[in-house]
Amino acid sequence: MSKIKSIGILTSGGDAPGMNAAIRSTTRAAIHNGMKVFGIRKGYEGMIDGDIIPLSSEDVSGVIQKGGTFLLTARSPRFRHYDGIKAGYEQLKKFGIDALVVLGGDGTFKGANELSDEFDIPIIGIPCTIDNDLYGTDYTIGFDTAVNTVVEAVDKIRDTASSHNRIFFVEVMGREAGFVAINSGIACGAEIIMVPEIQYDQLEKARKFLAERATKNKSSIILVAEGLKEGGAMDIAKILEPEFPQFDIRVSVLGHIQRGGSPSAKDRVIASRLGVAAIDALLDSQKCVMVGVAHDKIVQVPLNKTVKQHKSIDKDLICLSENIATYGPK
């Protein structure tokens, strides 16, 4: 059995639907195994400031269906420096916390990795980000909900686009990764999906599409990931609108609605599995790993590997989006 008697749980970086479900399962699995549990509010900022509270099974009752994170989250410039990391570690010692479970994305895991390197404290990461861009896991908590949120929003936008015969450029989150865009775009039948991973000129691709569409006079949805080198949806629309005055072109930036809302059933199940897996990893004397899901099985990946390796978008999905598009070859 592990010598760990007390754990801390924190959420850091951007929030993701399903974080509360993961806090719940982690807390209850830890208590089931005889551990004390503390919630660290406001991520690494709260750790530095000692904003730490005890958690019981009752404290996590009724949270599985809620979006966001009841422990709150924040970005911590102070934790990027040794003095901040040391101050956080001193607070953990003060509360008698033997190990950490951290929920977040690559920035969260970078901080966890540095803390573990400096002070040799066991840390388990649970991948929580709507971007789904963490190496070593097929899914991150929040991704499925975000995709469904985008699909629901685009379905509604398409209704009004069809009614007014408009071209809509819809921007979704994904600064460096197009996982949300490619999956939601396929699901909602977007005529064009523009993601950072596509190497050829996507502006020219949109231009050719509109030129072909001009003869058909039909409404369309062009889905744009925010991280394109060509710019966001607003930038692309401003370039193309003067070239195609016959179109009524509109832009919709979905923004932070993609982060909110009640988590999907899939996210709740994954969060529940990974919360228990995090405690199992600690009981197995793991020191610094992320628990993830690969081929529907729980896996453990070294934290330093998750932040150093790049997760690539499935090229088959890009090919699929091209093959079922309503326009000719690029």
To which residue do tokens 């993601």 refer? 195
Q: Distance between CA 133 and CA 143 in Å, rounded?
A: 10
The set of catalytic residues is: 131
What is the SS3 assignment for the chain?
CCCCCEEEEEECCCCCCCHHHHHHHHHHHHHHCCCEEEEECCHHHHHHHCCEEECCCHHHCCCCCCCCCCCCCCCCHHHHCHHHHHHHHHHHHHCCCCEEEEEECHHHHHHHHHHHHHHCCCEEEEEECCCCCCCCCCCCECHHHHHHHHHHHHHHHHHHHHHHCEEEEEEECCCCCCHHHHHHHHHHCCCEEECCCCCCCHHHHHHHHHHHHCCCCCCEEEEEECCCCCCCHHHHHHHHHHHCCCCEEEEEECHHHHCCCCCCHHHHHHHHHHHHHHHHHHHCCCCEEEEEEECCEEEEEEHHHHHHCCCCCCHHHHHHHHHCCCCCCC
Q: Distance between CA 289 and CA 274 in Å, rounded?
A: 12
Amino acid at residue number 184: S
